[in-house]
Amino acid sequence: MCGIFAIISKDGQPIEPKMYHGRLHSLREIAYRQSGKQRHRGPDYTGVKLVQDDGVALLHERLAIVGVQTGHQPLLSEDGNILLVANGEIYNYLEQSAEIAKKRGHYKPKSDCNVIIELYEEYGVNLFEYITGMFAFVLYDKHTKNVLIARDPFGIIPMYIGEDASGNIWVSSEMKCIVEFCTKLESFPPGEYRYGQPGNLERKKFFHERWVTEIPNIEADLSILRARLESAVRTHLHCDVSFGALLSGGVDSSLIASIATKLRRERDPTFKLKTFSVGLRNAPDFQAAKLVADYIGSDHTEIIFEIADALDGIRDIIYHLETYDVTTVRCSIPMLLLTRYIKSTGIKMILSGEGADEIFGGYLYFFKSPNYVEFHKELVSRVQQLNLSDCLRANKVAMAKGVELRVPFLDTAFVNYVMSIRPEDKIPGSLNCLGGTQKYRIEKHILRAAFAKDFLPDAVLWRQKEQFSDGVGYDWIDTIRKTATSHVSDVEFSTAATRFPINTPTTKEAFYYRSVFEEMFPGQAAADTVKRWLPRLDWGCPEDPSGRAQSAHQVHQ
């Protein structure tokens, strides 16, 4: 995983040097300077390619995970006409490489992303039918002068696109690289591509699944569910560097760690997965994580943090996240402390459990779902917003320290299977939402039931969800809320609606985060890239996103 950056002339003509910070800068100088703002994403290598006559600059900040010695980008086609900068992992690249080799007689990819070029040469914009993985990329065809820009179906990998005052296109993995130049700016939508001449890009969705618009009716099959998650984890294990796993003690991260251990021991019975958890002293997650670590025999480390040290990171985390969403800020600071430690151990890739709550209905506010139809629609909404919440947090926090984070629950085939299961098999149970047919069913019941033997101790397998920002220690949320609130006076807060008409903050905590964000990323275009994570207020849920605020919390433990 890496950072990508591109400037593309709107009319295919050279971009003249520009005054910047009081000095004339060439296209290459501006591109290198701006891409440097995300160089934390790729500490191993910076690659630069210019097509000067066409006004194109492509840059790549590399974190070497696959093809460590050969995978420097930008990548070029064999004839040199196609240039590519890509961020992510193509998990089926070995299979695609074999198919390409059959057709060409020879083919050895420099890295997993290399197949994007060959598939483009063979299939054009239909290449998305052939790749699975997490990705964001910019491809430039010198022969046709066409551009192809695309992002994976769920937005696991971040990408922003903008236009400057001259209409030139700017693309980057992080908004901070382009916000000061772009009068138009947006987070690139997941599952979409833009293709054609730079001044007239065609915009299309390449991800189309029936579960997005229809209520599914497929009955859950636990054996298929188990096999498909194991398959997803297997594909996510391919890398050429040391890796580990986050282990919060919740069922999601615990299952990923357990499955990864099982799969690696098929070829090395002595394998010990390195696992990591974070929290305040005596945090709720620590006990559960230790149970799992002992059960799967992992090499486990607990990172204990002090509240004062974590509070120091509020401004840093908003800069890295590029959001002012309360939920995201709260849970990201402990994760940043954890990632920093993991990086110090030499590990460059970690597995995590993001995505399970969105596809299985794991958040505690789902107990308030009024019926099956509304439950499924809310799942679809959560999946479509992953790129603005959990995926944004997971990627940007890990990459802030140059660590790649992989999320097997968001394997495209696995998501498509789970989201095609009828909602009555997934909805968490109560008399209210199940019409009196059942008194109680724990959230993510079918996921837990599918792995009911030999994977986790029952105390963890059937443990109620504890949101990460709660599980690190209840004092954390309570204190960060008080600290943020203390920075905002009543007079300041009374100006919220006029000062921030977009996503107006409704609490002093939210106002403070928004104020810090505005200092770093001023303007309406930047503010519009953020969406707030909230439970369903129209279902009677409280506005505070903490799981502890929900009535279902701990009732059935």
Quick check: 468 and 248 in contact, CB under 8 A? Answer: yes
Tell me, letter by letter, the H, E, C secondary structure of 155-187. Answer: CCCCCEEEEECCCCEEEECCHHHCCCCEEEEEE
Task: Identify the sign of the CA torsion 75, 78, 82, 88.
Answer: negative
Residue of 281, 234, 315 whose CA lies nearest to 473:
281
Residue of 79, 47, 57, 71 whose CA lies nearest to 147:
57
Residue of 176, 235, 535, 280 whose CA lies nearest to 406:
235
Quick check: 216 and 374 in contact, CB under 8 A? Answer: no
The CA-based diameter of the chain, rounded to the nearest angstrom, is 72
Could you give the CA distance from residue 389 to residue 475 in angstroms, rounded to a whole number?
Answer: 23
Task: Identify the sign of the CA torsion 36, 39, 44, 47.
Answer: negative
Question: Tell me, what DSSP letter sits at residue 47?
Answer: E
Quick check: 183 and 166 in contact, CB under 8 A? Answer: no
User: DSSP labels for 412-428?
Assistant: HHHHHHHHTB-GGGTSP
CA 291 distance to own-chain centroid: 27
> What is the dihedral angle through the alpha carbons of 478, 483, 487, 489, rounded to the nearest 10 degrees?
40
Question: Tell me, what DSSP letter sits at residue 286?
Answer: H
Question: Tell me, what DSSP letter sits at residue 441?
Answer: B
Could you give the CA distance from residue 255 to residue 263 in angstroms, rounded to a whole number?
Answer: 12
Report residue 323 as tokens. Answer: 């959001």
CB contact burial 27-52 (16+ within 10 A = b; e otherwise): bbebbbebbebbebbbbeebbbbbbe
What are the angstrom distances between the C-alpha of 536 and each of 136, 366, 393, 481, 529? 31, 9, 21, 21, 21
Task: Identify the sign of the CA torsion 114, 392, 317, 21.
Answer: positive
Tell me, yes or no, if 2 is annotated catalytic: yes
What is residue 49's three-state secondary structure? strand
Beta strands in 311-358 (DSSP E): 349-351
Could you give the CA distance from residue 293 to residue 374 in angstroms, rounded to a whole number?
Answer: 37
Kindly name the residue from 2, 182, 391, 433 that is annotated as catalytic: 2
Query: Which positions are catalytic?
Result: 2
